Structure 1
Amino acid sequence: MWKKLVPAFDWLPNYNRSDFSGDLSAGLIVAIMLIPQGMAYAMLAGLDPVIGLYASTIPLIIYALFGTSRQLAVGPVAMVSLLVLSGVSTLAEPGSSEYVSLVLLLMLMVGLIQLLLGVLKLGFLVNFLSHAVISGFTSAAAIIIGLSQLKDLTGVTYESGKSEVFLLILESVKRISEINPITLTIGIGSIVLLILFKKYVKKIPGPIVVVTLSILAVYVFNLYEDGVSIVGQVPKGLPALSFPTFTMDSIVALLPIAFTITFVGFMESIAMAKAIAAKEKYKVNANQELIGLGLANVGGSFFSAYPVTGGFSRSAVNYQAGARTPLASIITAVLIMLTLLFFTDLFYYLPKAVLAAIIMVAVYSLIDFHEAKKLFKLNNADGWTWILTFLATLVLGIQTGILIGIVFSLLVYVSKNAYPHIAELGFVESRGVYKNKQRYPDAMDDPEVIIFRVDADLFFANMSFVEDKLCNRLAEKPDTKYVIMDFSGVNSMDAVSIHSLEEMMQTCNQHTQFLFAGIKGPVMDVLEKASWDKKYHQMIHYITIEEAVKSLKNRVKNDG
C-alpha cells in the first residue's frame, strides 16, 4: 500500500549502486543547466531570479518521492512562467510583494487542483485538450515569450505589453536608435554560442559556458557602467518558510489561470514522461503523476517558489546524461541548495541579456509551423484548429487564445459526432464481403434491400441526421422491403437514440422491415433494458450482415 502511495518506497530500498554514477552525472549536468534557466524563467514570470532557484529545490525532491517517472526533470519552464505572468500581472505589479504573494497562492491552487485530479483518478481529462490546440498555443506562446525578452536583449524599456505582439514589434522598430549596442552584442553573441553548443558540443552545457564568459566580460570591462543591465545581488541562503495569503476574490480571479497551468503543465510533463518510459520499458501512472506534481507545487508554495512542471529539454538532458532513478533529481536539488548557500555572489555581474538569450533559444524549438502543415494534410479541421488557436493566442492573449482553441476543438468534436459517417453497403463478389458502395463501384445492390452502416455512437444530437439520411434513401428507392442496419461501428447508445430509432422504423416507410446486425454487447445491454429483446427479438439477433441477408433469402424462399 505504501509503495503505491509513495513510489519512492519501491525504488529507494531496492536502489542498485551501479545506477549511482549515472544519477550523479545527470544530477550535476541538470543542476548546471537549471541554475541559469531557473533564474531566466523566474524573470520571465515577473519574479526575482532567485525565486527560480527556490523553485528548483523542494519541488524537485517532493516529485522524486511521489512521481512515477524515473527521468522526468521537474522545475520552472518557459510556458508556465509566461502563464504566471499573464495571469497574475493583471492583478498586481510584477515584482511587488503583492505579486509574489499571489504567485505563491497560484502555486498552491495549481498543486491542489492537480492533487485532487490525481486522487479522484481524473487524469483522463487532459485528453480533452486537443493536440492541435496545444501545438498552436505553444507555437504562439513561444513567439510571445521570445518577443517579451527584447527589452533585456536590447536594453530598451518598451511601453507595449508583453502580450501585445504586433504593437511590440512596431515599437521596437521605431525605437531601434535607442538600442544599447553592448547589450545587444552580448545578447546576440550568447544566442549564437548557445546554438553552436546545442548543435555541435552537446556534451558541454552551453548555458553555463555563456553565463561564465558573460560574467567575466562584464566584471573585467566594467560593462555595467555602459548601461548593461545585470542581475545584481542574489539573496544567499535556502528559501524561508512562507505561507500564501489569500482572499476569496483573489482565488476566484486566479482560478482560470490555475486551471490553464494545471492542464498545459501536465500535458508537457506527461508527454515527456511517457516518451522516456516507452524507451526504458516501464510504465508511468498518469494519476500518480498528477499527485506527484500536485504535492511538488503545494510544497513549493510554502518555500517561496512558483509553479513547476516537467520540462522537455531538461528531461531529455537528464535521460541522455545517464539518469536511472529519481535520485538524479534529488542530487540536482541538493546542488542548487549548495549554490544558494555559498555561490550566489558569483551571479552579481550576470547580464540580463544572457538570461534573455537562454529563454529565446529554449523556446525557439517550440515554434512548430510544420505541425500545422502536417495537420492540414491529415485533417482540415485539426489544421484550422491549430491556425485559430495560434492567431487567437497571438492577437488576443494567452488565456483567451487557449480558451478559444479548446472551445473550437470541442465544437469540431461535437460537429463530427452530430454528422457521423454513414455508408450504404453492397456485396463485392470478388472478395466475398460487404463494402461501401461509394468506394467500391462494383459492389452489387439488391433493389429490395438497403444495408446501412453507422460509424459512430448514437445519441440525441446525431439521430435526426441518421434518420434524414435513411428516410431520404428510402424515398429514392421506393421498392425497398428490408433495411439492414449494420451496428458493428456503434459502441454506445443513449435513451433518446433508442426512442428515435423506434420512431424512425415507423415513419420512414411503414412497409419496410428493419433488421439489425453486428450489435455489440454494451449496446445490446441497453437495448434489452428498453425491452427490445421482447419487442424486436427476431430483428436484432444477427451477428453479421451475411447472416441477416441469408435470413432474408430464406424468408423469400419460404414465402415463395
Structure 2
Amino acid sequence: MHINPRLQPPGGEELLAWLRHYRLAWLGGDLVAGVVTAIMIIPQSMAYAMLAGLPVQIGLYASLLPLIGYALFGTSMSMSVGPVAVTALMTAALLAPLASIGSEHYLQLAIWLALLSGVMLFVLGLLRMGFLANFLSHPVISGFISGASILIMFSQLPHLFGLASLPSSPAQLLAAWTPVNSLVLGMGLVALAWLLYARSRLAGHLQRFGIGASAARLLARLAPILVVLLGLLLTIVGDLGARGVPVVGSLPAGLPSLVWSSPDLSTLQALLLPAALISLVSFVESVSIAQSLARRKRQSIDPDRELLALGTANVGSALTGGFAVCGGFSRSGVNVEAGANTPLAGVVSALVIGLILLTIAPLFAWLPLVVLAVVILVAVVPLIDTAALRRAWRYDRREGLTLAGTAAGVLVLGIEGGIVLGVGLSIVTQLWRGSRPHVAIVGRVPGTHYFRNTQRHLVETEPQLLAIRIDENIFFANTKAIERSILQALRDYPDTRELLLILSAVNHIDSTGLDMLLELSLGLNERDIQIHLAEVKGPVMDQLEQTDWIREQVAEIFPSTHIAFNTLSGFKRPLSEADAEHTPKTA
C-alpha cells in the first residue's frame, strides 16, 4: 500500500528515540522526578479543574493519559503536560455560552472540546504545520496571558473571601462584599502569605541552612503540598465544613472509565472555533516552554512532532473524561529541578497519580476550596508580565501597544475577542511598518568598494548617476511610499540620467509593486532617464524574468553596486582583480 509521505508522522524514524537510547543511569532521576512532580501536580490539577468549572477530580483524570501520550511523540525531555491555568480559563470562557457551568452537558462539552482540539493538533502535526507557532507574536502571547491571568485572579477572589457566588466582574465582586466569611478569609490569607514567601524567599533561607541550591528550589516549588496537607488536617480535626468553610465535597475513588461518545453536528459546529483557539494557544505556549527547557540543556525540539504529542495528549485526556491540556511551566520546572532526564518521568507521574486515585483520593473531599483558590492565585501572579510591557514600550512603542491592547482586549472583550484583537494589532503594526520603507540614496566610501547612505556617511557620488537602495520588500502597502521617495530623490538630483535601484534587501515584489515599477519606468523614459538594477536576489530575479518590464524597461542588471558604479559613472574605472574578489554575487 502506498502512503503519502506528506501524511507520515514527521521524523517518524525518531519516535520514542529517548526510549531506544535510554541509559540505566537516567532511571533514578526519572523515578524521583516522576514522584515529586506528581505530588505537585495533584493540588494544581484539582485547582485548575475548579477554575475550568469542572469537578476537581477531572483535573486528576486529565493528568493520566496526557503524560503517557506526550511521551510517545514529544521531543522535549523534561516538559510536563497537563491542566494549566490559561487553558482552564479558556475552557470555562469558551463553554459558558453553550452550557451551564457544573451541568452534565457542560462536562460533556469540555470532554468534546479536548477531543476536538487533540484531533486538530494531531492533523496539523501530520501536515507539518509547526510553523503556526510563529503566527502569534511575543507581545500578543504575553498580553493574552497577562490579561487571562487577571481574569483568573478575579475569578478566584470569591473563594478567597468565602462568597457563595462567582461575580463575573470586579464591580459585581465589590457589590457582593458583605457576606465575607472571616474564617475562610483568614485561612486564605495565611496560605497566600506562606506561598508568596515560599516563592520569593524560602529557597534562599533554606540555602543558609546548608541545603543545596537545586534542592532548595525544589522544596520551595513543593510548598503548595504543605498548604494542602494542613488544609485537610484543619478541616477534618476542626470540622470546618460544618462551620461554613466550603470544601471539595465527595470525590469518587478509582480510575476513570474510558469515555467515548460523539457530539451531534450542531454541537460540533459550535465547538470548532473554541477548539481552534484553544489549540493555537496551547500549542504556542507549549512550544515556548519546550524551547526554553531545551535551551537549558542544549537540546532541540521539533514543533511538528510537538503538535502530534499535544494532539495525542488531548485525545488521551478526553478518553479519560478530562479537559484540554498543554505544557505547564511550573510543573515542568519542578520536573527539571527534581532531575528528569526523559519523558519517562511523566509516565511515572501518571502512574503515581493513578495510584493515588485508587487509594486515598476520597480524602481530598475535605480539602477547603480556598486552598485551591490560593494555589491558583499564586500560580498566575508571575504570569502578569509587567516587565515585558516595560521592555516592549522602551524598545518599540507599537510593540508595547500591541501587548497592552491584547491584555485589555481579553479583559474587556473576553478570550476570543482578546486573541482576535491581538492578532489584528500585530497585522496592522506589520503593515504600518511595511508601508514606511527605508529608502536610501547611497554613494561610494572613498577608496573602497563599499556603499553607504549619503545622509550618514561621507561618500562619493556621480552627478548623472543616482543610486537608491530599497530596504524593504516591495508590496501593495508601500508602493506609493517607495515611488514618492524615488521621485523626490530625482527632484533633488535634477542632473540624473542613470537611476540605479539596489535591491539587496528586497526578497519579494508583488504585482502591485511590479505595476509601480512599470509606471515609474515609463515616466523616466519620457525624461530620458534609464533605469538599472543591482544586487537582485535569485528568487526575485526568477520572478522578474517572467515579466515584460525586465526585458523592455530595464537597461542593465548588475551583480553588485560596485560594478554598476564603475560601469555607469563618468570615468568608468576598470574592475581590478581585488575588486572582483570582493564583488558579491546574485543570491
Name the residue aligned to 1:203. 218
Residues 328-355 of structure 1 deviation map (CA, whole Å, 9 limit, x = unaligned): 0000000000011111122121100000
Q: Distance in 1 between matches of 2:344 and 2:547?
A: 57
Q: Which of these residues, 467, 470, 493, is aligned with residue 454 of structure 1?
A: 470
Matches within 5 A, 1:222-371: 222-371=239-388
Code of the aligned partner of 2:474: L
Residue of structure 2 aligned with 1:135, choices 126, 136, 142: 142
The CA deviation at 1:78 is 0.1
| Distance in 1 between residues matched to 2:154 and 2:245, nearest whole Å | 19
Instruction: Compute the displacement of 1:479 (Å).
Output: 1.8
Choose from 87, 90, 93 the match for 1:83: 90
Give RMSD over aligned pairs.
2.1
- Structure 2 residue 51 is matched with structure 1 residue 47: no
Alignment counterpart, residue 490 of structure 2, candidates 474, 477, 496? 474
Map of 1:62-81 to 2, 5 A cutoff?
Answer: 62-81=69-88
Moved more, 463-472 or 296-305: 463-472
Tell whether the 8 Å contact from 2:522 to 2:553 is kept in structure 1 after alignment: no
Letter in 2 for 1:142: S
Once the two structures are superposed, what CA deviation does each residue of 1:202-235 show, in whole Å capped at 9, x if it has no partner?
Answer: 3321111110011101111111121100011111
Task: Name whichever of 196-205 and 307-316 sits farther off.
Answer: 196-205
Aligned-residue offset at 1:537: 7.1
What is the CA–CA distance in structure 2 between the aligned matches of 1:340 and 1:151, rounded to whole Å? Answer: 28
Residue number in structure 1 paired with 2:527: 510
**Structure 1 position 8, deviation (Å):** 4.9
Q: Per-residue displacement from partner, 1:371-414 (whole Å, max 9, x unpaired)? A: 11111111121111111111111122121111111111111112
Map of 1:191 onto structure 2: 192
Equivalent position amino acid for 1:141 in 2: A
How big is each residue's C-alpha offset from its partner over 1:112-170, in whole Å with a ceiling of 9 and x where there is no partner?
11112111111112211111111111111111101100111111134632xx3xxx2x3
Q: Does residue 500 of the first structure (1) align with residue 516 of the second (2)?
A: yes
Deviation at 1:68, TM superposition (A): 1.1
SS in structure 1 of the partner of residue 569 of structure 2? helix
* Residue of structure 2 aligned with 1:156, choices 152, 163, 186: 163
**Residues 565, 572 of structure 2: 8 Å contact kept:** no
- TM score, norm. by length of structure 1: 0.94
Q: Tell me, in whole angstroms, the C-alpha distance in 1 between the residues paired with 2:491 and 2:572.
A: 23
User: Among 375, 382, 394, which residue is 2:399 paired with?
Assistant: 382
Unpaired runs of 5+ residues, structure 2, are 1-7, 204-216, 575-587
Q: 5+ residue gaps in structure 1?
A: none
Q: Distance between the aligned counterparts of 1:504 and 1:68, measured in 2? A: 52
The answer on whether the counterparts of 2:10 and 2:126 sit within 8 Å (CA) in structure 1 is no
Shift of 1:192: 1.4
Q: Secondary structure of 2:559's partner?
A: coil
Deviation at residue 197 of structure 1 after TM alignment: 2.4
- Map Cα deviations across residues 413-438 of structure 1 (whole Å, 9 max, x no partner): 12222332212223343876322233
Tell me the distance in 1 between the aligned counterparts of 2:319 and 2:75. Answer: 23
- Mark the CA change 1:157 to 1:303 in structure 2 (over 3 Å): closer, same or farther: same
Bigger CA drift: 342-351 or 152-161? Answer: 152-161
Moved more, 289-298 or 476-485: 476-485
Match of 2:425 among 408, 413, 438: 408
Work out the percentage of aligned pairs sharing the same amino acid.
Answer: 37
Name the aligned partner's letter for residue 265 of structure 2.
M
Letter matched to residue 69 of structure 1: S
> Could you say which residue in structure 1 is the equivalent of 2:214?
none
Q: Secondary structure at the match of 2:533?
A: strand
Match of 1:397 in 2: 414
Using the TM superposition, give the Cα deviation of residue 458 of structure 1 relative to its aligned residue in structure 2, in angstroms.
1.9
- Equivalent in the alignment of 2:154: 147
Query: Could you tell me which of 483, 487, 500 is aligned with 2:499?
Result: 483
Output one character per residue of 1:429-464: Cα deviation in whole Å (capped at 9) or x when no partner: 387632223333x34443322221111122233223
Q: CA deviation at 1:557?
A: 9.1
CA 1:234–1:549: 2 relative to 1, 3 Å = same
Q: Is 1:61–2:68 an aligned residue pair?
A: yes
2:87–2:325 CA contact under 8 A, matched in 1? yes
Contact 1:5 1:66 in 2 (8 A): no
Cα distance in 1, alignment partners of residues 418 and 394 from structure 2: 23
Q: How many residues align?
A: 550
Alignment of 1:421-432 (within 5 A): 421-429=438-446
Distance 1:6 1:502 in 2: 51
Contact 2:501/2:534 (<8 A) preserved: yes
